[in-house]
Each structure stands twice: as structure tokens, then as C-alpha cells.
């Protein structure tokens, strides 16, 4: 773990930004780089119903471009001398983050938990919890 990259998944929320501080701290402690990953949901729609004015593929590309712009803005504000990689994936957040975490070159995942409780926890899939359960490397969940 001490020689492998720190993975920081982000949805660009304030909670995720809070976890970035921990990711940077861990990267500095172990003198390793940081890989930032953002997952864009794969939009779906039935073109036969003409519900969408654009195709799901066009919508996904637009979402990826918006994520790329946010990623560039984030990198401009990032204050670290460690190497930083950025990755934008398309698909299910849990599957893509776990795949990245289990790719072999990740030493630790630092992920934010949105801290949902009660009915909200029941209705929304908890990405941080699923990643912590499925990742092969250590996972730090930040509240």
C-alpha cells in the first residue's frame, strides 16, 4: 500500500471535496500520487418514444465534457506537489470505482460518505459502503 496510488472518487460535491483533503494527506504521508476518478451515469431512454431531444450517447458525451471541465477547474485549485491523474468513466459508479480500486496499482481509496440515514439510506444505494465492501485495498470513508 505504501508505494501505490491513492484513489479519490468524486462527484464534485462539497462532501467529496472534504475527502480530498484526506487523500492529499495520505498521498503526502506515503509519498505517492493521487488518481481522481469521476463516473458519469450512462443515460438511458427509448428513442422510439422520442422522450429525449438528444440520443443517450449525445447526452453522455455532454455529461463527460461537463465533468472534464469540472476536473480541469479542480486541478487548477489543487495544492499538491504529488503526481495527479484524472479519469472519467461512464457506467455504474460502484462498478467503475471498484474496478479502478482493484486494478492493481491502487494502494488505498479515500471516498466521501454522504451520511444518509433512515429512509434516505434505504432508498439510495450507498456508494461508499459498497466500495468499502468490494475493494481489495484499504478504504478510508470520510464523513
pLDDT of 41 reads: 83
- The residues spanned by each domain of the chain are 5-142
Q: What does the block give as the cell for 73?
A: 477547474
Which residue ranges of the chain lie beneath pLDDT 50? 48, 117-123
Say which CATH architecture domain 5-142 belongs to: 3-Layer(aba) Sandwich (3.40)
Strand pairing class (139-142; 106-112): parallel
Chain centre to alpha carbon of residue 108 = 13
Cα 133 off chain centre by: 16
SS3 54: coil
Local structure of 2: helix, strand or coil: coil
According to the model, what pLDDT value does residue 94 have?
A: 94
The three three-digit cell numbers of residue 10, written as one number? 468524486
By DSSP bridging, strand 106-112 and strand 84-90 are: unpaired
In tens, the pLDDT along 47-63 reads 545 555 666 677 778 88
State how far the Cα of 52 lies from the Cα of 40, in Å rounded to an integer.
Answer: 18
Q: What is the layout of strands, in order, in the sheet containing 106-112?
A: 84-90, 34-40, 5-9, 106-112, 139-142
What distance in Å separates the CA atoms of residue 115 and residue 135, rounded to the nearest whole number? 20
Encode burial over 120-133: b for 16+ CB neighbours within 10 A, e otherwise. Answer: eeeeeebbbebbbe
* Predicted structure pTM score: 0.81
Amino acid at each position: 500500500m505504501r508505494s501505490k496510488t491513492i484513489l479519490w472518487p468524486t462527484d464534485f460535491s462539497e462532501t467529496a471535496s472534504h475527502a480530498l483533503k484526506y487523500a492529499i494527506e495520505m498521498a503526502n504521508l506515503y509519498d505517492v500520487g493521487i488518481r481522481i476518478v469521476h463516473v458519469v451515469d450512462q443515460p438511458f431512454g427509448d428513442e422510439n418514444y422520442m422522450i429525449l431531444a438528444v440520443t443517450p450517447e449525445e447526452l453522455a458525451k455532454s455529461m463527460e465534457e461537463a465533468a472534464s471541465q469540472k476536473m480541469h477547474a479542480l486541478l487548477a485549485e489543487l495544492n499538491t506537489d504529488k503526481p495527479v491523474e484524472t479519469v472519467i468513466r461512464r457506467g455504474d459508479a460502484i462498478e467503475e470505482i471498484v474496478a479502478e480500486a482493484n486494478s492493481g496499482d491502487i494502494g488505498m481509496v479515500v471516498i466521501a460518505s454522504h451520511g444518509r440515514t433512515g429512509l434516505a439510506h434505504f432508498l439510495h444505494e450507498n456508494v461508499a459502503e459498497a466500495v468499502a465492501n468490494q475493494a481489495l485495498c484499504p478504504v478510508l470513508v470520510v464523513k
